[in-house]
Amino acid sequence: MSTTHRTACILCSQNCGIHIQLDEVGQIDKITGDPAHPVSEGYLCQKATRLNYYQQQARLNSPLRRKADGSFEEVSWEVAIQEIADQLRHIRDTHGGKTIGYAGGGGQGNHLGGIYASALRTACQTPFIYSALAQEKTGNFWVHGKLFGRQNTNYAEAVAEAEYVLIIGSNPLQSHGLPKARPTINELSRDPKRTLVVIDPRETETAKKADIFLQVKAGKDAYLMAALLAVILQEDLQDKDFLANETVGFAEIRPHFMRIPISEYAAIAGIPLDKVQQVARGMAAAKTMAIRSDLGIEQSHNSTLNAYLARLLFLVTGNFGKEGTNCLHTALLPLIGHSKSPEEGGVVTPVTGMQGIGKLFPPNILPQEIDSDHPRRMRALIVESANPLSSYADIPAQRKAYAKLDLLVVIDVAMTETAQAAHYVLPAATQFEKLEATFFNLEFPKNFFHLRQPIWPPLENTLPEPEIHHRLVTAMGELPASFPVLAAIAKIDRRMPALRLLPLALAVTFAFRPRWKKYGLLVLKESLGKALPGESKTAALVWMAAHRYAKLYPKEVQRTGLNAKGYALGEALFNKIISSPSGTLISIHRHEDHANLIRHKDRKVHLAIPELLGWLDKLPEKALADADTEKAFPFNLIAGERRSYNANAILRNPEWRKVDKEGALKINPSDAEALGIQSGDWVICSSPVGSIRIIAKVTEEVPAGLLSMPHGYGLAYPGEEQPERMGALANMLTSSEDCDPLAKTPYHKQVAVKLEPLV
């Protein structure tokens, strides 16, 4: 008999709700959109229908240990866990916890494991989480800390409602990044009363839908955004009421824009002056405006400054906190934290002295943190649900550095490039074999959460990550494996939650065993978790999060239809979540309360960021410096475009791709002609770091001098004999040092390369 299961797509942060239909033998028959999902409402893109290539891929199914000759041998879980735990304890006790690093923690569909990993990090005494987010969003987070008071404030963009929409450095028709991206953009494009402006150096699918397309010179967005702001302020078009009532610091920022030579900056950005004026005036005049930005300005020159300027554009025009604009949102559990600056006593890394942003550290400094003579260089690295040797910058430098680690542990579902370099590889259950969720619930005014039940049991000899972390912590001697008394109390507690027996029992336990308190999440998993129905043990975390959220936002939670108060509201929210297989609303906010989400004490936006205003003032000098360095490697490569058939490094079997199997390098016809290259030719693309072989596609989509290759290609797969069918790894070309001075986010969108035909 066939069965249908409700879950979510795990290939991008939208996590669209899906139905997976299984045939009689339990294999995937059909994948369709789930109309009951509160945000995606049945929407799907072409990638989701290929999820069988995730669940049915060549899997890891035994812990592996590296032998002296470099090959791997299978070992039991007991042996692997004890040996890893002993080594971690030894490194911690000999060199200090700060010589241990943790990388990854969750991709596009799985965040529970990474949160349970906090217990392992506590046992290791390390504050160092290296994350993919710290190679894209940390510049934004730093700016949010200054503007809104905390680095873990974030905003939703009302692209579906706004009258005027500016998309800068993003291609939602391919990458999504907003709910139901394709119909949303198509509707906006068709509506004569609304305006879509796209800023991109490439004529993308989204740019083709734009009313106004500003084909900016790659890496020059800071000049363009500064010019847009300068037009608004020099023509006195700013929203004076909003600035007076809801912000502070406008008088400080204004002079920096009043002196900007608009036509010069427009010329540097490659945009005619009248277009700059048209867009600036259009934004100022629009009743509502939303701005959506992404990697095109984050993994790009002036990254952190870009983040600031993009936000100032909606702030000075008063498009913040109102319907149809950019609005802060809440989160069931924030994905990130807030790091103190080094001056305030915030932790910095031993070798490079890098500060945390949002409690995260940037992958770009990893090679230097490891490959060093510093006594507190990194000696152990635990990689979970990430593949640094494909997705972090500068694979050659990383490879060299990882060889110097005393311990590299990889927790993954597949034999990745990073796993191949590890001392131990631990096989995880897939995201459809365990309870899972993401904290990509980033919406306003209505926010939601989707807890997904497993469809299959874990493949034999694999484990869900929370179990792996618990076993490691236990083997390190930090915590028992189980808590029978608490588990018994939890059973009663679930029958009569109003008595609050479990919180009381936990408080008493931690009073007698203070050491256990810092592992509270694991204790909760083994007590409350065991009393939850089905395979929901790790929902203990969601229980905690639901109580926290209901306490912080009681009215907003009640508006979703829950008639309870205080502790009972937390219970009601938790029950709503675990009994909603398609996901459910967790809050309904009101725009009139929006200012409460600003974390500065005065509930105002603090516009002035002196560090970035200083950076803005120096842009003219930077333009001159850039002009000198563009000779030896004459092309500018966009190293990591989102296309129809790439999904980060999640799907490894190249068969999953229906088109663009080799992951072509796009090149303008004039450049192709000058080099004697035609579509389908193989070329060598080199940077100062390394070189790749890649197939060329001649297209007007990129202007002369610009090249574009996809992200997520070049992954090894068992049985795949022809390496060219897998495409090329973009990060063979990127340098770990080519990054933003403040956030250390890589310049993946501006990699200087040269090209030669392959003969």
Ligand X SMILES: Nc1nc2c(c(=O)[nH]1)N[C@H]1C(S)=C(S)[C@@H](COP(=O)(O)OP(=O)(O)OC[C@H]3O[C@@H](n4cnc5c(=O)[nH]c(N)nc54)[C@H](O)[C@@H]3O)O[C@H]1N2
- How far is 542 from 510, CA to CA, in rounded Å? 21
| Mask for 430-469, x = binds ligand X (CB under 6 A) | xx---------------------------------x----
Binder among 20, 28, 39, 45 for ligand SF4 (CB under 6 A): 45
Nearer to ligand X, 371 or 641 (CB): 641
Contacts of 528 (CB under 8 A, 6+ apart): 490, 493, 494, 502, 540, 543
E-strand spans in 122-274?
A: 129-130, 155-157, 164-168, 195-199, 212-214, 247-248
385 close to 154: Cβ distance less than 8 angstroms: no
Nearest CA among 199, 206, 208, 169 for reference residue 270: 199
Work out how close the CB of 500 gets to ligand X at its nearest, in angstroms, rounded to a whole number.
34
Nearer to ligand X, 185 or 585 (CB): 185
Residues contacting ligand X: total by CB under 6 A: 62
Binder among 48, 309, 393, 426 for ligand SF4 (CB under 6 A): 48
What the block records as the tokens of 694 is 């890649």
**Near ligand SF4 in 156-185, by CB under 6 A:** 176
Work out how close the CB of 381 gets to ligand SF4 at its nearest, in angstroms, rounded to a whole number.
29
| Residue 14 within binding range of ligand SF4, rule CB under 6 A | yes
| Residue 175 within binding range of ligand X, rule CB under 6 A | yes
What the block records as the tokens of 395 is 């694979």
Cα distances from 253 to residues 146, 442, 614, 688, 695, in angstroms, run: 14, 29, 10, 39, 47
Binder among 157, 163, 412, 478 for ligand X (CB under 6 A): 412
Nearer to ligand X, 129 or 598 (CB): 129
In terms of Cβ atoms closer than 10 Å to its own Cβ (0-12, 13-18, 19+), residue 754 is middle
String of DSSP letters for 291-352: EEE-HHHHSSTTHHHHHHHHHHHHHHTT-BSSTTSEEE---SS-SS--PPPGGGT--B-TTT
- How far is 44 from 35, CA to CA, in rounded Å? 10
**Near ligand X in 211-270, by CB under 6 A:** 216, 218-219, 221
461 close to 62: Cβ distance less than 8 angstroms: yes
What the block records as the tokens of 146 is 């200054």
Work out how close the CB of 521 gets to ligand X at its nearest, in angstroms, rounded to a whole number.
18
Nearer to ligand SF4, 175 or 238 (CB): 175
Binder among 8, 12, 271, 276 for ligand X (CB under 6 A): 12
Look at residue 14 and give the partner it binds from ligand X, ligand SF4, none, a contact being a CB closer than 5 to 8 Å depending on partner kind: ligand SF4
Work out how close the CB of 440 gets to ligand SF4 at its nearest, in angstroms, rounded to a whole number.
9
| Residue 168 within binding range of ligand X, rule CB under 6 A | yes
Give the CA dihedral 627, 633, 636, 641, nearest 10 degrees: -150
Work out how close the CB of 417 gets to ligand X at its nearest, in angstroms, rounded to a whole number.
8
Contacts of 302 (CB under 8 A, 6+ apart): 219, 221, 222, 615, 619, 622, 740
707 close to 636: Cβ distance less than 8 angstroms: yes
Binder among 6, 19, 37, 47 for ligand SF4 (CB under 6 A): 47
Look at residue 695 and give the partner it binds from ligand X, ligand SF4, none, a contact being a CB closer than 5 to 8 Å depending on partner kind: none
| Residue 84 within binding range of ligand SF4, rule CB under 6 A | no
- How far is 217 from 212, CA to CA, in rounded Å? 16
**Rounded to the nearest 5 degrees, what angle is found at the Cα of 371, between the Cα atoms of 365 and 372?**
100
Nearer to ligand SF4, 383 or 647 (CB): 647
**Near ligand SF4 in 15-44, by CB under 6 A:** 15-16, 44
* Paired residues of 685 in beta bridges: 692, 755
**Near ligand X in 91-110, by CB under 6 A:** 104, 107-108, 110
| Local structure of residue 385 (DSSP, 8 states) | S
Look at residue 454 and give the partner it binds from ligand X, ligand SF4, none, a contact being a CB closer than 5 to 8 Å depending on partner kind: none
Residue range at the interface with ligand SF4 (CB under 6 A); choices 12-20, 277-285, 377-385, 592-600: 12-20
Nearest CA among 285, 395, 329, 346 for reference residue 589: 329
Binding site for ligand X (CB under 6 A): 12, 104, 107-108, 110, 132, 135-136, 168-171, 174-177, 199-202, 204, 216, 218-219, 221, 294-297, 300, 384-387, 391, 411-414, 416, 428, 430-431, 465, 638-643, 646-650, 711-712, 730-731, 734, 748-749
Binding site for ligand SF4 (CB under 6 A): 9, 11-12, 14-16, 44-45, 47-48, 176
